[in-house]
Amino acid sequence: MTPAPSVSSSITVRMQVRARPTAVSELTTTIERAGGIVTALDVTQSGQSRIGVDVTCATRGEDHAEQIVAALEELDGVLVERVSDRTFLLHLGGKLSIESKVPIRNRDDLSMVYTPGVARVCEAIAARPADARNLTIKRNTIAVVTDGTAVLGLGDIGPLAALPVMEGKAALFKRFAGIDAFPLPLATTDVDEIVRTVIAIAPAFAGINLEDISAPRCFEIEARLREALDIPVFHDDQHGTAIVVLAALTNALKVVGKDLADVRVVMSGAGAAGTAVLKLMLHAGARDVVVCDIDGVVHTDRPGLDDSLRWTAEHTNPRGATGTLRENLADADVFIGLSAPGILTGDDIATMAKDSIVFAMANPRPEVDPDEAAQHAAIVGTGRSDWANQINNVLAFPGVFRGLLDAHSTSVNEEMLVAAARALASTVSDEELNPAYIVPSVFHPEVTSRVAAAVEEAARATGAAEYRIGSDRARQR
């Protein structure tokens, strides 16, 4: 599947062009014939014989951008002066900054912001640690923690190369939920050291968002941090994905008139995201789920199962299925892919039950070509923004953390995750719901507020909103 030109790979080409009536049309035609999409054209200067032109266009990637520039350079009377990658320009100097919320204009301000006035605030917090939530940045700040071992579709690229992604995550927290998030890539992959480090920095934060940490290490890290800390620990690759998948599936089943408890679900992928999606679906009422990985169906008699796969085998596959993904896809109502690109074809989807649902979420290339899948499935969703029904974590994590912070929650539980999924699904009204619109846009104005309210309510209903000063956990810290 050839990717479409995208603004994420857009360039601006600055040129000197010999002045003539067809100058501009020659430039745009050349770019379009080379497969680019012109998004902006500006004349930057003009003389009697030459004009300066900036053309911005979307490309399919670096190689394609070079081909477009080469085609422009071949035009008579065109001199390419500079080519700018717009994405790299956006990242220059990083995407975040720290700004003071209070002015420091004179000695009075200085004496309250810093010494001697600040000492009174310190003493108040020492006497009552819970006051840190009201008197410091802890109230609205989370840490975005990674070790860079499972970054997007890039894999193990290390903490430094992961920093732009963590910055982007922090920017999304601010944009969609007004949360101050700080990126913390750690220069270690040792589980014990990661756990110790996060515990050590936790006093400054009201929550921890784990990001892009490879499985199965991520399971142990999350479990140990949840046990050690009295602030919520949320692994977005797991739980953010699970929330959005459950929301999308809830609405998709409504469109095709099926019930979660009755459908046959086949999953491809038993890693961090797949396991979290599975657990949340089971908690929400799914009963017939078969999970496959690279070695086929995960079942109790399969040798070499680790602890995570053993749990999966013991809680799924009620019909005792074995064999391959393709074999088990026949007559299934739902396919959920969180695995690898191009492992299925449209013919495989054709074997599924009538009014089937396909969520192929491997990125950037899904498990099955969406166009092929749509020939046979009633509803198709992917992780891509250039297809309908994008199953995108940004629909979940800002609202989830907004709710957790507003509730002063000490933990995250499955009741909160299910509540978030139901709230997200509810942002698509019955009048709006159709096969091409089962999840809202990330810019839907009510997404964050609805998810946040649902999570806050669930936190209070399950007792997680109580800040337990004096508890065993608090004393351990």
The pLDDT of residue 477 is 34
Q: Per residue in 351-370, is it b (16+ CB within 10 Å) or e — as a string?
A: ebbebbbbbbbbeebbbbbb
Token digits for 343?
A: 């492992």
CATH 3.40.50.10380 range(s) for the chain read 107-229
Q: CA distances (Å), 453 to each of 266, 358, 446, in order?
A: 32, 30, 11
State the pairing for strand pair 296-297/141-146: unpaired
Residues of the chain scoring pLDDT < 70: 1-2, 466-477
Using a cut of 0.95, tell me whether the model's pTM lies above it: no
Q: Closest Cα to residue 438, out of 381, 384, 371, 394?
A: 381
Q: To 5 degrees, how large is the angle CA 373–CA 441–CA 246?
A: 60
Q: How far apart are CA 421 and CA 428, in angstroms?
A: 12
Residue 16: enclosing H or E segment and its boundaries?
strand 6-18
Tokens for 433, please give them: 């719901």
Q: Tell me, what's the pLDDT at 2? A: 67
Per DSSP, 34 falls in state: T
d(CA 215, CA 109): 49
Q: Give the number of other Cβ atoms within 10 Å of residue 380's Cβ.
A: 29
What is the rounded CA–CA span in Å between residue 165 and residue 177?
18
Distance from the Cα of residue 134 to its chain's centroid: 29
End-to-end CA, the chain: 52
Can 279 be counted among the known catalytic residues?
Answer: no
Cα 275 to chain center, whole Å?
16
As a CATH number, domain 238-477 is: 3.40.50.720
Buried b (16+ CB within 10 A) or exposed e, 162-191: bbbbbbbbbebbeebbebbbbbbbbeebee
Tokens 């921890």 belong to residue? 208
Q: What is the pLDDT of residue 475?
A: 34
Candidates 336, 341, 330; CA nearest to 359 is: 336
Would you call 467 a catalytic residue per the annotation? no
Burial 317-327 (b: 16+ CB within 10 A, else e): beeebeeebbe
Helical pair 272-284 and 307-315, crossing angle rounded to 10 deg: 30
* Annotated active-site residue in 114, 174, 258, 437: 114
Cα–Cα distance measured from residue 344 to residue 364, given in angstroms and rounded to the nearest whole number: 15
Q: Cβ(269)–Cβ(290) under 8 Å?
A: no
Cα separation, 299 vs 321, in Å, equals 7
| Beta-sheet strands, E only, within 245-366 | 264-268, 288-293, 296-297, 334-337, 357-360
Which is the catalytic residue, given 138, 169, 258, 279? 169
Reference 220, options 241, 186, 187, 192; nearest CA is: 192
Location of each CATH 3.30.70.260 domain in the chain: 6-91
Q: Which segments of the chain belong to CATH 3.40.50.720?
A: 238-477
Architecture of the CATH domain 107-229: 3-Layer(aba) Sandwich (3.40)
State residue 305's pLDDT score. Answer: 94
Q: Is 87 helix (H, G, I), strand (E, B) or coil?
A: helix
State the architecture of 6-91 in CATH terms. Answer: 2-Layer Sandwich (3.30)
pLDDT at position 37 is 95
58 has which bridge partners?
A: 37
